[in-house]
Homo-oligomer: A and B are copies of this chain.
Amino acid sequence: MNIGSAAKKSGISERMIRHYEKIGLIPAPLRRDSGYRDYSDADVQRLNFIANARDLGFTMQEIGELLDLWGDEHRASAQVKSLALAKAEELGRKAKALSTMRSSLLHLAENCHGDDRPGCPIIDVMAGQD
């Protein structure tokens, strides 16, 4: 199938499919006489794998490792589990950091009267006048 169909089926843009090919994340597909790329269902499956891993928050580099493990029939699931747990921990840290920022902002906003008077603790804190 053409790249457009592969893009639709996988939810990955044509642009990124070509990009993933260039950086070696996916194998270069066969070309027709016209030069058009020709994708198989297996190719689309690999793209779907990438899309799913991306949705789970993995970086492109990590996705590369997961793809290697996926293709390795003799992989130890321990490796995959370890990657997943490390990622989960990282996501947890990031989520907590965002929550902390959110709390700070809400706390500051609580003490901002929010009318047309000029004083505002949010601004004051950022200006270092706290």
Q: A residues near B, CB below 8 A?
A: 45, 48-49, 52-53, 55-57, 66, 69-70, 73-78, 80-82, 84-85, 87-88, 91-92, 94-96, 98-99, 101-102, 104-106, 108-109, 112-120, 122-123, 125-128
Contact = CB atoms under 8 A, between A and B. Distances in A.
Contacts of A112: 77, 80-81, 84
Contact of A95 (B102, B106, B116): B102
Given A77-B118, A92-B98, A95-B95, 4 more contacts: A48-B128, A53-B126, A77-B120, A80-B112
User: What number of copies of this chain does the assembly contain?
Assistant: 2
Contacts of A92: 98-99, 102
A75 B45 CA distance: 55
Nearest to A76: B116
26 contacts: A49-B126, A52-B128, A55-B101, A56-B105, A56-B126, A57-B98, A57-B102, A70-B123, A70-B126, A73-B118, A74-B118, A77-B117, A77-B120, A77-B123, A78-B114, A81-B112, A81-B122, A82-B114, A84-B108, A84-B122, A85-B105, A85-B106, A87-B105, A91-B99, A94-B98, A95-B102
